[in-house]
Amino acid sequence: MRRIFIFLVIVSCCFSCENQSSKNKKLIPKFKAEHGFYAWKTNWRNPADDPNFAQFKTNHLYVRMFDVEWSDELDCVVPVSPLNFENTVDDFNGIQNFVPVIYITNETFKHLSDSAAKQLPQQIYQKLRILFYQMNDQNQYEDYVYKDGEDPYQILYPELEVKKFKNLDSLVDNYMSCFNEIQFDCDWTPSTKEKYFTFLLACKKRFNDKTISATIRLYPFKYRKEMGVPPVDKGMLMCYNVGNIQHNDGINSIFDLKEIQKYLPAKFNYPLPLDYALPIFSWGASYRNGQLNALFDASILEDYAFNFEKNKQQDSDESVMKFTVLSNYSFTNLTLKEGDQVRKETVDLKSVEKLTEILGQKNTNPNPRVILYQLDHSKIEINAKEIKSIFATF
């Protein structure tokens, strides 16, 4: 009897170890992804110069070039927050597969006519050329306003300047030919999808030698009959921002694995090839009188910890922390007042890795990409091990 008991114990332990091993074993994706980062900072810093960046051996860098928004004052669309190349001498040297990204507010398409939506790709093309001029000529020309289809070359540069810019044309042409894909980022709605899709079709004509991609939030991904499918060559599924940051309660608004999984079908059958964007960023949100006041870089909470008191009552989610501002304090583009409530949200990178594994199993694109948002040189150094593990999963 004792021998039988010992045998059963051994068998039970073997099964237990086998089950534990299977739980820890990563699933192998059908298609191996290429990897990269989003660079979303206003001031350009070439990551190829950062030795910490090289260790990830990434294939792609998606760079936000500028935003496009509607100006009520000027009654037209305007480019804002362009990438700043001031004091830059190394441009995009050493960057493999650079992809320019243009963010366009949904409000823009509420105001544009069909004809203006068709014209916008040409205006974006001109603005891109101006940015590349600026990268090679350190004079920072004032932003061009898109109005009435005027040619920015005629508006910005007097006759005396024409020769100089013609000499730069071949160099700028080279930059325009160095990227094979351009991406457009817009949180469109059912009321703006027709104008936005008209714009995207016009982009395929203006940038006819490029792959046209568009970001796709989780809601339009799941509810495509209501939201439509953008007429582009491929989509970037944005696997984050599923919560509501407007209120200082509820789930982590950046990333919640259970919430994200609600938007994912058993198998992807979206009518576009998909790449996948995953978060590795954090942010702070300030609330005044119960209303969202500002979003800001979470590093402020660390650099100025003396001005924030951690609240005694916290959420059960450790990725969310709450603070109270102790005294009035002003930062660049941010003012905090005594008594303001502050919410810090970080991303659990182990959960991101788990989602990456899930996406690898559901993916049907034979040439997928996994792109992390966003490239922060201090964070990639601290989280290098976790980032490598995410990339290794899919």
Say if residues 347 and 355 touch (Cβ distance below 8 Å).
Answer: no
d(CA 184, CA 194): 15
Task: Kindly tell me if the per-residue pLDDT of 232 is higher than 70.
Answer: yes
Per-residue confidence (pLDDT) for residue 316, from 0 to 100: 85
**156-179 per-position pLDDT tens digit:** 444 434 444 455 677 788 888 889
Q: Where are the alpha helices (DSSP H) in 262-318?
A: 299-303
Q: Report in angstroms the alpha-carbon separations of 191 from 8, 203, 219, 287, 369.
A: 66, 20, 15, 30, 30
Residue 23: both structure tokens together: 């739980």
DSSP, collapsed to helix, strand or coil, labels residue 253 as coil
- The full DSSP string for 20-58 is HHHHHSPPPPSSPPEEEEEE--SB---GGG-HHHHTT--
Q: How far apart are CA 390 and CA 392, in angstroms?
A: 5
Q: Which of 286, 290, 283, 264 has the alpha carbon at shortest distance from 356?
A: 264
The class level of CATH for 29-280+347-393 reads: alpha beta
Q: Which amino acid is at 36?
A: G
Name residue, tokens 């990333």: 255
Residue 358: which pLDDT band, with cuts at 50, 70 and 90? very high
DSSP 48: G
Q: How far apart are CA 181 and CA 171, in angstroms?
A: 19
Instruction: Give me the long-range contacts of 170-173 (CB less than 8 A, separation at least 24).
Output: 171/132, 171/136, 172/129, 172/132, 172/133, 172/136
Helix axes 349-362 and 384-393, enclosed angle (nearest 10): 10
| Position 145 pLDDT exceeds 50 | no
Would you state the structure tokens that stand for residue 164, as one six-digit string?
Answer: 């100089």
Q: Is the pTM of this model over 0.85?
A: yes
Q: Which two tokens stand for residue 208?
A: 């006819």
177 or 23: whose pLDDT is higher? 177
Per-residue pLDDT of 34-84, as tens digits, reads 999 999 999 888 898 888 899 999 999 999 999 999 999 999 999 999 998
Give the strand pairing for 34-39 and 283-288: unpaired
Question: Domain residue spans in the chain?
Answer: 29-280+347-393, 282-346
Q: What is the DSSP letter of 3?
A: H
